[in-house]
Amino acid sequence: MTPAYAETRVRNTEARDLPGIIELTRAVYPESKPWSAEQLWHHLDMFPEGQFVAVTPDDKVVGMAASLVIWWDDYESQMSWRDFTAAGTFANHDPAHGRTLYGAEVMVHPDYQRHGIGKMLYAARRGLAERLGLLRIRAGARLRGYHEVADRMSAEEYVRCVVRGECRDPTLSFQLRNGFHVLAVVSDYLLHDPESRGYAAIIEWLNPAVATPEDYPKGLEFG
Ligand SMILES: CC(C)(COP(=O)(O)OP(=O)(O)OC[C@H]1O[C@@H](n2cnc3c(N)ncnc32)[C@H](O)[C@@H]1OP(=O)(O)O)[C@@H](O)C(=O)NCCC(=O)NCCS
């Protein structure tokens, strides 16, 4: 029999997926408050094209990616996830001015990870940025493996080690392989995230059809 992960596909989120997304959040982040139905409704209401789920053939939600469009100049890169997402409501979604697709969430059920589902969700996001003619995707990559080395490395040293390919982070290594580069390392990005100790890398993917030479960062500090 073909395993369910092999037949998983990505499509836009629909209202009937919301209970499945809440269940998925509980499986991925058992210690944290899950997305609420109200927040997820807001996302669908404001920006349905920006919300994706990965589903098995029987429509079980095993992955999701939530995004909004922001005008980057309204923000400082040191801001937190709460600032970039208006506390998870996406009330700051600004399609009239924004040129940046902000990745607010991506997750795959632990039983389905490492089978290419995350890669499919990222491909769906890139396709959306291309269709909308957006300049880029940015996101905060929580440094999920940092707690293992926090007693001997700063978060910046850890990110350099991951970028050089000498350390492997279960989230950032995957994002780098999906075409992102690191712009900065920030603290206090996420509350209640013992794995990352609150640290995140601000990551960027540039849309080659839109970006001009000036948009490409010169001499990346974390290159
Ligand atoms: C980050 C996350 C979304 C990745 O999802 P995923 O479905 O495991 O992603 P993929 O399977 O596409 O890729 C993950 C790894 O599995 C590998 N992989 C994919 N298919 C594989 C296969 N058939 N056999 C072996 N390895 C495989 C990929 O090469 C990749 O390796 P890398 O990390 O060294 O680059 C997932 O780990 C997750 O939900 N994490 C918890 C939540 C989280 O931290 N989200 C990010 C917030 S910033």
Give pLDDT, residue 222: 78
Mean of the pLDDT values across residues 188-197?
A: 90
User: Whole-structure pTM over 0.85, yes or no?
Assistant: yes
Instruction: Return the residue whose CA atom lies nearest to atom 5 of ligand 1.
Output: 118
Phi, psi of 103 (to 5 degrees): -85, 105
Over residues 72-88, the pLDDT tens digits come to 888 887 889 999 999 99
Given a cut of 90, whether residue 146 has pLDDT beyond it is: yes
CB of 178 within 6 A of ligand 1: the answer is no
Kindly state the tokens that stand for 167.
């350390």
Ligand 1 centroid, distance to 67 Cα (angstroms): 19
Instruction: Return the residue whose CA atom lies nearest to atom 32 of ligand 1.
Output: 174
**What is the pLDDT confidence band of residue 200, given thresholds at 50, 70 and 90?**
very high
Which candidate, 5, 101, 11, places its Cα nearest to that of 52? Answer: 11
Other C-beta atoms within 10 Å of 54: how many? Answer: 26
Ligand 1 centroid, distance to 83 Cα (angstroms): 26
Query: Left, alpha or beta for 197 (phi > 0: left; psi -120 to 50: alpha)?
Result: left
Which domains, and CATH codes, for the chain? 1-134 (3.40.630.30), 141-216 (no CATH)
Over residues 91-142, the pLDDT tens digits come to 999 999 999 999 999 999 999 999 999 999 999 999 999 999 999 999 999 9
Given a cut of 80, whether residue 1 has pLDDT beyond it is: no
Given a cut of 80, whether residue 3 has pLDDT beyond it is: no
What is the rounded distance in angstroms from the CA atom of residue 7 to the CA atom of residue 13? 17
Ligand 1 centroid, distance to 213 Cα (angstroms): 31
Give pLDDT, residue 95: 96
Q: How many CA atoms lie within 13 A of 44 on its CB side?
A: 17
E strand spans, the chain = 9-12, 51-55, 61-70, 100-108, 136-142, 181-186, 200-206
